Structure formats: C-alpha cells, structure tokens
Homo-oligomer: A and B are copies of this chain.
Amino acid sequence: MKTITAADIAAMEKLTRVQFATSLPGVKPVALIGTRSSEGRTNLAPFSSIVHFGSNPLILGMVSRPDVAERHTLSNLEATGVWTINHLHPGIIEAAHHCSARFPSETSEFSATGLTEHFEENFHAPFVSESRFRLGMEFAGRLDIPLNGTTLILGKVVLVQVEEAALATDGSIDLLGLEAVASTALDTYFGITPLGRLSYAKPDRPPTRIS
C-alpha cells in the first residue's frame, strides 16, 4: 500500500490535488441539474455531489462550490424554488460533460449541447428529455459551510419520472436496466455491473444474496 500523508497532500500541485480529492469519495453519482431563471433562461450543470438526506419527507442534498459556473444553478434555484435532477445514460455523457464548460449566462446549455428541454405543467424548471430517470425538486433549505465557502442545498422530491419497466413494486429503481452512469474525479465516467442484492442484515448471521 502507498501512504499519502497530510504533508504530501499539502505539497500537491493544485490540479493534482483537485483530481485526487474528487477521487476520494469512490464511485460517485452524476446527474444534470436543470434550472430556469425568473426571466426564463434555462441552465444545465453536472453535479456529482447528490446525496440522500431522508425518506420522509423525501430529501436530497447537493453541494454547490463557491465558483462562477455553478452560481447560475444556485441563483436560479433560489430565485424560483425549483430544479430538476436528470440522471445520465451512456448516450448523453459527452453532452452532460460539455455542460460543465463556462458558458455565459445568456447561453442555455440545452441549445449549446443539443439536449432537449422537457417541461411539466406547473413546474418552472426544465427536465432533460433524453434522460431516462429524472426528478423534480422543491427548495427545502440551504446551509452554508463556513470552512470553505461551499453551500449544501436541500430539496424535497416532488416529481419522479422513470422508464416504466425500471420501477419495481417494492420501490426499487432498476439502475442496471436504465444503464445508469457513475463518475469519479472531474472527468471520468463508469457504467455499472451487478454484484448482488443482499438480505436485511441481522447480527446473528451473515447476509445472503436475494438476487
């Protein structure tokens, strides 16, 4: 095993440290966050910091960095109170990654990358039509992290759209069938393969595979 100490981390070049740091959570989610300004300009930005915060109410969080590109997302969602989370499949990873470029605020990442807007009645934010699994979110809170200027945004899930065959009666979503995409660092994308679903864990015996 190679050991990297706090001193080694402090001595890294900036880009090396960012690539290293964003690899440390392991396999991460990745999805396109869709917002629309009060004036009607749509925006898309890839986020890999989407995390479950609770099941009742159904709350997800995401982390906004203190930099220019993502402030379009943060300012739009705070102004309008809604956003969408659009999961990826292999056919749209290049377009999704392209959305991380620093487009000016008057350019919609939809038109710049060829992705298609999809709107639901009475919901201000745009969904990505090409996504097979997408969520409509309502603002539920914001926590600023004084340590480094990042912001945790909390949202309540108010709408889910997923390919019919992917939703099981027990509430599971078939990420394998959807060809869900994972990520690491800032630029690397993965597909997934099955390893198994395990039984509810009990202290007195090891779990068994239930599929």
Which residues of A does B touch, CB under 8 Å? Answer: 1-6, 9, 12, 14-31, 48-61, 63, 65, 85, 87, 90, 93-95, 97-104, 107, 112-113, 133, 135, 140-141, 143, 145, 147-148, 150, 152, 154, 156-164, 167, 169-173, 175-176, 180-182, 184-185, 187-203, 206-207, 210
Contact = CB atoms under 8 A, between A and B. Distances in A.
A175 B30 CA distance: 16
B101 A202 contact: yes
A79 to B, nearest CB: 21
Nearest to A104: B203
Nearest to A13: B171
Nearest to A199: B187
A122 to B, nearest CB: 11
Contacts of A1: 161-164
A12 to B, nearest CB: 7
23 contacts: A3-B160, A4-B160, A6-B159, A17-B171, A20-B58, A20-B173, A23-B172, A25-B50, A25-B51, A26-B31, A27-B181, A53-B145, A54-B147, A57-B148, A97-B207, A102-B203, A107-B203, A143-B152, A171-B185, A175-B184, A187-B198, A189-B198, A190-B192
